[in-house]
């Protein structure tokens, strides 16, 4: 038991990841607004569909705004609640907009004491027939949105694009982190083999690389499923997807190289050298090249990742333990593979 505490810890952390990551609800949010376009100078009634919302429960104090920028917003003059996830908000749009553009994008903000506040960026586009900035500025006097309520209880952030798929953050991303850590361990074992020639270090490198490739494949699969729900296709030929696939293929070639030689010593030395160069190629493929071009993937090509909406403090309580849990599981799997290979070599040596 004394030598297996880290295995128990890994299992407990993964149980925590699954239970909390899948059962904690998302914060209330706005799923859809209709219509999405309106003309200045007219009154428009928006049909607003919520998610995990409690419009009826907080109907007496519910408020809504169309927000143009940090200082200008328009509050709804009438709100009709039809259900916990459905309401109608009416806005009297001024005749002119305070900008030198024919079309402006407005975010919708809802607030009530039960759900707190939620926002849908670019919820509606308002067009004007002619420009009159001076008149528009008089009609849109600077007025901030004040007195917003905060939601209570433990919950994960609601993203209109991600919705429930945001929970994949605890599986897809930690698997990649675990893969990198495990590949780093394989590099250390390969370097130790090149230094002292001990067979045990070569077997360690093989076992760790096998688990790392498995984690990489799982990362690709979970990423493809996530891409289907957010980008509309399992594989969009995004630069991050392509580079990740190339990285996994490079490591799969490690096993092809090993099988190309019958001499165990030559096989082990060439594979050890290849393993070091494979890890050196992993860093630019995953972290450098995707940042040099546009990418749909968060954290690359100017697309922010790990922001307050993607990974808030509540999600960090699950995300970082998940990295530790998946990594410990991977090390445990590699240890089992190592023992299996050692037993095979002992049996083969006794049969000679």
Q: How many helices (H) and strands (E) does the chain have?
A: 7, 9
Report percent pLDDT > 70 for the chain.
95
pLDDT given for residue 311 in this prediction: 73
Residues 2 and 241: their CA atoms lie apart, in Å, by: 42
The pTM assigned to this predicted structure is 0.87
Q: How far is CA 63 from CA 147, 160, 208, in A?
A: 10, 20, 56
**Virtual CA dihedral for 271, 276, 277, 282, nearest 10 degrees?**
120
pLDDT given for residue 185 in this prediction: 96
Give the three-class secondary structure for 31. strand
pLDDT given for residue 264 in this prediction: 86
Residues 318 and 308: their CA atoms lie apart, in Å, by: 15
Could you tell me the pLDDT band of residue 8, with boundaries at 50, 70 and 90?
A: very high
Beta bridge partners of 26: 156
| pLDDT, tens digit, 9 for 90 and up, residues 50-96 | 999 999 988 888 999 999 988 889 999 999 999 999 999 999 999 99
Tell me which residue has tokens 């128990």: 8
Give the three-class secondary structure for 74. strand
């Amino acid at each position: 038991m004394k030598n297996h505490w880290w295995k128990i810890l890994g299992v407990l952390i993964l149980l925590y990841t699954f239970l909390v990551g899948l059962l904690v609800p998302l914060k209330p949010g706005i799923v859809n607004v209709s219509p999405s376009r309106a003309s200045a100078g007219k009154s428009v009634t928006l049909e607003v569909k919520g998610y995990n919302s409690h419009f009826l429960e907080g109907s007496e104090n519910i408020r809504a705004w169309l927000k143009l920028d940090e200082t200008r917003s328009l509050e709804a003059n009438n709100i009709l609640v039809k259900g916990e996830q459905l309401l109608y908000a009416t806005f009297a749009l001024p005749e002119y907009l305070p900008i030198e553009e024919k079309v402006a994008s407005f975010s919708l903000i809802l607030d009530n004491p039960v759900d707190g506040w939620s926002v849908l960026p670019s919820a509606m586009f308002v067009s004007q027939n002619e420009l009159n900035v001076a008149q528009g500025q008089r009609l849109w006097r600077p007025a901030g949105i004040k007195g917003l309520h905060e939601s209570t209880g433990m919950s994960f952030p609601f993203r209109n694009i991600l919705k429930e798929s945001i929970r994949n953050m605890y599986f897809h991303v930690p698997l990649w982190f675990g893969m990198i850590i495990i590949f780093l361990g394989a590099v250390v074992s390969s370097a130790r083999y090149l230094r002292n020639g001990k067979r045990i270090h070569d077997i360690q490198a093989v076992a760790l690389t096998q688990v790392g490739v498995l984690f990489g494949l799982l990362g690709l699969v979970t990423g493809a499923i996530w891409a289907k729900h957010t980008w509309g296709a399992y594989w969009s030929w995004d630069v991050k997807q392509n580079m990740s696939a190339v990285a996994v293929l490079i490591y799969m070639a490690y096993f092809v190289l090993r099988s190309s030689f019958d001499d165990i010593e030559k096989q082990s030395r060439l594979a050890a050298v290849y393993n070091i160069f494979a890890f050196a190629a992993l860093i630019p493929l995953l972290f450098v090249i995707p940042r040099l071009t546009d990418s749909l993937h968060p954290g690359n090509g100017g697309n922010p990742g790990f922001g307050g909406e993607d990974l808030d403090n509540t999600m960090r309580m699950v995300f970082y333990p998940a990295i530790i849990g998946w990594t410990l599981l991977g090390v445990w799997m590699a240890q089992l593979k190592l023992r299996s290979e050692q037993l095979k070599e002992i049996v083969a040596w006794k049969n000679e």
